[in-house]
Amino acid sequence: AQSVAQPEDQVNVAEGNPLTVKCTYSVSGNPYLFWYVQYPNRGLQFLLKYITGDNLVKGSYGFEAEFNKSQTSFHLKKPSALVSDSALYFCAVREGGSTLGRLYFGRGTQLTVWP
Amino acid sequence: GAVVSQHPSWVICKSGTSVKIECRSLDFQATTMFWYRQFPKQSLMLMATSNEGSKATYEQGVEKDKFLINHASLTLSTLTVTSAHPEDSSFYICSASLPWAFFGQGTRLTVV
């Protein structure tokens, strides 16, 4: 069965510091991995994806994520956090080979960046 | 980029009434759309998979007669909450895949 774990409910970081939001996954076959961001009372916005290719994926707003197959992880990172990055972040996985199938979401990590 | 539009953004209704939420893919055709429900500070719970021209596939525990889904065209799926009750109050989000998912803005439903 597919599943995603985001071990931290909350991540706090000072503006200008690097940030990491952790995600591990469990899936049969090759995974399609995604990160989304949600602002209050809004839908989810796509940040980045890993389908195949380079393990380091660059996405929107300066975010990047590294696919680590041996550790089954896909941590989201940003070298220098902004206050405006404060939001709820979701990691998601879709079983490989299915481009239209459902996503399995982690429980979300609330990122707070303080000035 | 691809856009999914969800309407309304928020709605308040009385107990016992029905509410329809629309999800439109604006610049692409979506044979499959997904409906999620989100409780405060929680993850998204998949309610059902909406397939154009056929019946929706509901997740276990989701009442089919309570949450009616219609996907009559390749650009429109609707979710109707029938005989709404206060416990149906929630944030409902739709998505379509292209192949990664694009989400609507969400609908905040409050049943009073």
Output the pLDDT for position B81.
Answer: 97
Predicted local distance difference test score (pLDDT) of residue B53: 85
How is residue B54 annotated by DSSP?
S
Contact A100 B97 (CB under 8 A): yes
Cβ(B100)–Cβ(B1) below 8 Å: no
Is the predicted pLDDT of residue A83 greater than 70, yes or no?
yes
Cα–Cα dist A22/A75, whole Å: 4
B28 CB near a chain A CB, below 8 Å?
no
User: What average pLDDT does the segment A74-91 reach?
Assistant: 97
Residue A97, pLDDT > 90, answer no
Residue A1 pLDDT: 74
Closest in A46, A102, A107 to B34, CB measured:
A102
The per-residue pLDDT for A2 is 81
Torsions phi, psi of A92, nearest 5?
Answer: -145, 155
Mean pLDDT, rounded, for B74-100: 91
Question: What dihedral do alpha carbons B25, A47, B7, B37 form, nearest 10°?
Answer: 110
pLDDT of residue B98: 67
CA nearest neighbour of A37 among A86, A73, A90, A74: A90
CA-to-CA distance for A106 and A25, rounded, in angstroms?
A: 9
> Do residues B67 and B81 lie in contact, with contact meaning Cβ atoms separated by under 8 Å?
yes
Mean pLDDT of B98-110: 87
Query: Is the Cβ of B44 closer than 8 Å to some Cβ of chain A?
Result: yes
Nearest to B70 by CA among B105, B27, B35: B35
Task: Determine the pLDDT at residue A27.
Answer: 85
Q: Residue B28 — very low, low, confident or very high, per pLDDT cuts 50/70/90?
A: confident
- By three-state DSSP, how is residue A34 classified? strand
pLDDT tens for each residue of A5-43: 999 999 999 999 999 999 999 988 888 999 999 998 888
pLDDT, averaged across chain B: 91
Give the separation between CA B2 and CA B96, rounded to whole angstroms: 9
Tens of pLDDT, residue by residue over B33-64, are 999 999 887 888 999 999 888 889 999 999 99
Banded pLDDT at B3 (limits 50, 70, 90): confident
Task: Work out the burial of residue B63: count CB atoms within 10 Å of its CB; fewer than 13 is exposed, 13-18 middle, 19 or more buried.
Answer: exposed
Query: pLDDT by residue (tens digit) across A48-76?
Result: 999 888 999 999 999 999 999 999 999 99
pLDDT value at B70 more than 70: yes
Taking contacts as CB-CB distances below 8 angstroms, the residues of chain A near B97 are 99-101
For residue A98, give every residue at least 6 positions away whose Cβ sits within 8 Å of its Cβ, in sequence order, or none.
Answer: A32
Instruction: Closest CB to A108: pick one of B31, B43, B49.
Output: B43
